[in-house]
Structure 1
Amino acid sequence: EMEHKVKELNSASRKLRMSVSQTDTIPVVTSKTSEVYYFGGGRQIPQKLDTFTIGDSALQVSISSCHFAVVTVEKELFTWANVQGGQGMVGQLGHGDTASYRMPKKVAALQGQGVVNVSCGEEFTACVN
């Protein structure tokens, strides 16, 4: 049933592409670059994270009250924390410890897994590959 639905959706898409006239504009992604900015937690002016400017372009960002996660165009996952007031980490960054990394760090355990989506909760991070 799933294969039939995929085939049906793909054929509809193909028909749409074939019906586009020469004068219509078709959106095309021309760049894999993006920048990530953060503010809050005492910072009132947006600060650019240099981690995501060269080679690791952000595609999706997810946050909780104390940690952040970014999926890159290259399908890698980066996490880090903004711990304040004695709040501790319980392993939700995925680095194999309970440390509070203040700058984005690639989650080595998911290297090569092709992460496409991430979501942060209070004491967890969940991702889809």
Structure 2
Amino acid sequence: MKIKLLVSEVNGKYLYEPKTVSEAEHILGAAVVLLKEPIYSLGLGCVINVFRTVQALNIGLEIGTEKDDWSFIIRPEQKFNPSTGRAFEDNAWRQIRKSHVDYPLWSKIDYEDAVDFFEEIRFGGGWPSKTGNPSGSGRYNNV
């Protein structure tokens, strides 16, 4: 079982399936964000943190559906769109889990980072907190 990652050229004309991180970075012209615990045997989609990469580079991401033979397409010709909706997130989880229901193909720490990513999109980021309280509530927050 692999997570297949494709990258389009900056002009969006061609799709490539890079085999290494350096190939992906060459096509994108920028550094990618790596998973904290990459699993090289499961393909580049289990090495590159696609969500944090598109967020950091402000570029587009397409997520394959059940019938697609690819998992993710990173699209530098498009802008990052955090308001893509619930179907986007559902397809993302399907790609990470594939046929496994209870076991994600990403490590636990990277899986939890993906959960955080989608929560940030759904609920937005709060004000920085002096107390470390991420909820944005509390006496000394937002000072």
Q: Same fold (TM over 0.5)?
A: no
TM-score normalized by the length of structure 1: 0.28
- Identify the structure with the greater strand proportion: 1
> Which of these two proteins has the greater Rg computed from alpha carbons?
1
> How high is the TM-score relative to the length of structure 2?
0.26
> Higher helix proportion, which one?
2
RCO comparison, higher one (Cα < 8 Å, 6+): 2
